[in-house]
Amino acid sequence: MARHTVNGLSIDELERMLQSRRSLVQKLERQRSKVVRKLDALDDRIRQLGGSAGRSGRSGGGRARNDQSLLEVIESVLKSSGKPMKVGEIADAVQSKGYRSNSANFRGIVNQTLIKDKRFNAPSRGLYQLKK
């Protein structure tokens, strides 16, 4: 005996339809996870060979990954320069060394890093160098 009807379907029929769809969604999510793992493995392999594997067209974006931290790259830039540099010059040099960032304001991030870390000092406004 049907309990109630909605658009000609009983509650039991609607519940079965919902359960069927939930099962299908779970199955598709498992398939998607497998494909994502395969894509990640391919991206890793491409990076190992020196290519730039991106996540273009995939949801989630993700942040750029680097071999060295921003601090380490800034330190090497200032060490190789040997003289005080402007924040913009440091940011450009860091990126030219291969450091990747998705930030719209990378210069600001470099500036905050220089201000906060004790390895760097400002001999004059806007110029930074390694502490001696």
The pairing of strands 5-6 and 9-10 is antiparallel
Tell me, yes or no, whether 57 lies in a domain: no
Domain that holds residue 29: 5-48
pLDDT digits 0-9 by tens, 88-124 = 999 999 999 999 988 889 999 999 999 999 999 999 9
Residue 46: which residues within 8 A CB-CB, separation 6 or more?
Answer: 52, 53
Tell me, yes or no, whether 54 lies in a domain: no
H-run or E-run covering 42: helix 11-48
pLDDT for 51 equals 78
> Rounded to 5 degrees, what are φ and ψ at 101?
-145, 140
Are both 30 and 77 inside the same structural domain? no
Beta-bridged to residue 129, according to DSSP, are 121
Q: Give, rounded to a whole angstrom, the gap between the first and last alpha carbons of the chain.
A: 87
Instruction: Kindly report whether the global pTM for this prediction surpasses the value 0.85.
Output: no
For the chain, how many structural domains are there in total?
Answer: 2
pLDDT digits 0-9 by tens, 22-68 = 999 999 999 998 898 888 888 888 888 887 766 554 445 577 788 89
> Rounded to 5 degrees, what are φ and ψ at 90?
-65, -45
